[in-house]
Amino acid sequence: MSATPVTLQPRPLDPSVDHEIQAIVAGDLTTETCNTDLAAGPWTFDTRPGYGPGSSMGDVIPTGAPRQGQLPAEYREAAEEELAARIVAAKATLGDRVVVLGHFYQREEVVTHADYVGDSFQLANAALEHPEAEAIVFCGVHFMAETADLLSRPEQAVILPNLAAGCSMADMADIDQVEECWEQLAEVYGDMDIPDAEGLLPVIPVTYMNSSAAIKGFVGRHGGIVCTSSNARTVLEWAFARGRRVLFFPDQHLGRNTAKAMGVPLERMPMWNPRKPLGGSTEAELHDARVILWHGFCSVHRRFTVGQIAQARAEHPGVRVIVHPECPMDVVDAADEAGSTDYIRKAIAAATEPTTFAIGTEINLVQRLAAQFPEHRIFCLDPVVCPCSTMYRIHPGYLAWVLEGLVAGEVRNRIQVTADVAEPARVALERMLAAKP
């Protein structure tokens, strides 16, 4: 599993979601967007109390989340072409001193400047290949920059171009709520550090990569492990070899879809709602549990429905439907395949015959794949243009601002995980790397 070094490829279709949203707002397209505010620069809503328009507009930024200050006017007012030229010039000046990483879900206008494109873990590993770089500019969301900081050398500065680019799913597992959950579980199961007669601990905590460093640190301190959407099954097998049950956070859907595929019955997967005593379950249900699912979800992948799949099949006979495992269980069950962003990309690349693909993941990736593979017909299952609103906050204006800051000798928006959190978080990540099938 590695991030893709960028090579120039023909782009016969315009992969830009921003161009499409601008055209919708101008009335030149009849397709819909989930919020026309997305046509404006993110600086118009960076400071609003919430995640802003788009797929996660209903979520609220947690107290203490980093906030982005006002982007200077020269970046807010610059045209797309000017920003692109300034980014190219700054990167040329910086040379090997900087590496720019672009997540699959980033806007095309940002990804085009990335040295590597991939998922969060692939990108963190790509950064390791550049120990000479003084700065790693992570075009993604906050937890990804934290993970890159955990894996990079201490002298390297990891930069998040817009501090308002959080992840609503990651923020659904708050460290205080998780600590409280652990205490309540200890009242049910007894001492969490003492194995039973078969050598199994009562609970092994497992966190998805899409979680804060604080949660990864919690997991590391309690004998647990991190997983990605590519290796969730391997990681759950690792955990079941060490514990009676798993506490899985923050994404209930990845946990449920993975455990179900492994044969765990749904009735043995209670949900933990942090606002309810014992998470909303009885002691008996918790004793019987194999996987306790945290009440979290991705606002983007929650938009996909069984009805969209039925419509795709009706309109495109023979369509191949591939969805991300962050989608709800009924959607995964109705699809032909489910897999990580890397799986989706490889599945399309491996198709030898012209194929129609309906994809259930973030639209920036889907449109880029459609442009990169014109021999196939590739479209997003959701007919509404609704990018991840927090990923979308990395506008080229912010990328230009942090890169020109580096040229001027100023490190802007550095993300640093404190040593007390970083040490156990690295332990949890190292366990994942060692957990080979």
The rounded distance, in Å, linking the Cα atoms of 396 and 106 is 10
> Cβ 301 to ligand SF4, closest distance in Å?
6
The rounded distance, in Å, linking the Cα atoms of 214 and 225 is 13
Near ligand SF4 by CB under 6 A: residue from 141, 158, 338, 365: 141
The rounded distance, in Å, linking the Cα atoms of 297 and 172 is 8
The rounded distance, in Å, linking the Cα atoms of 411 and 383 is 40
- Residue 123 sits in the site that holds ligand SF4 (CB under 6 A): no
The rounded distance, in Å, linking the Cα atoms of 396 and 122 is 22
**Is the CB of 16 or the CB of 56 nearer to ligand SF4?**
56
Q: At what angle do helices 175-189 and 213-221 cross, to 10 degrees?
A: 20
- Residue 105 sits in the site that holds ligand SF4 (CB under 6 A): yes
> Cβ 297 to ligand SF4, closest distance in Å?
8
Site for ligand SF4 in 72-101 (CB under 6 A): none
Q: Kindly state the number of chain residues that form the binding site for ligand SF4, as judged by CB under 6 A.
A: 14
200: exposed, middle or buried (C-beta count within 10 Å: 0-12, 13-18, 19+)? middle
Instruction: Give the torsion sign (CA, 233, 239, 240, 245).
Output: negative
- Residue 172 sits in the site that holds ligand SF4 (CB under 6 A): no
> Cβ 45 to ligand SF4, closest distance in Å?
16
- Residue 344 sits in the site that holds ligand SF4 (CB under 6 A): no
- Mapped onto helix, strand or coil, the DSSP state of residue 268 is helix
Q: Which residue type is seen at 124?
A: A
- Residue 121 sits in the site that holds ligand SF4 (CB under 6 A): no
> Cβ 56 to ligand SF4, closest distance in Å?
6
- Residue 252 sits in the site that holds ligand SF4 (CB under 6 A): no
1 CB-side CA count, 13 A = 18
Q: Any idea which residue has 């009562």 for tokens?
A: 202
> Cβ 308 to ligand SF4, closest distance in Å?
17
Q: Concatenated DSSP letters for 153-177? A: -TTSEEE-S-TT---TTGGGS-HHH
**Is the CB of 58 or the CB of 154 nearer to ligand SF4?**
58
Near ligand SF4 by CB under 6 A: residue from 16, 56, 106, 367: 56
- Residue 156 sits in the site that holds ligand SF4 (CB under 6 A): no
Near ligand SF4 by CB under 6 A: residue from 391, 402, 421, 432: 391
Site for ligand SF4 in 270-299 (CB under 6 A): 298-299
The rounded distance, in Å, linking the Cα atoms of 166 and 142 is 5
**Is the CB of 68 or the CB of 390 nearer to ligand SF4?**
390
Angstrom CA distances, 207 to 210, 217, 277, 296, 425, stand at: 8, 10, 22, 11, 11
- Residue 167 sits in the site that holds ligand SF4 (CB under 6 A): yes
> Cβ 138 to ligand SF4, closest distance in Å?
12
Q: State the residues that interact with ligand SF4 by CB under 6 A.
A: 56, 105, 141, 167-169, 210, 298-300, 362, 388, 390-391
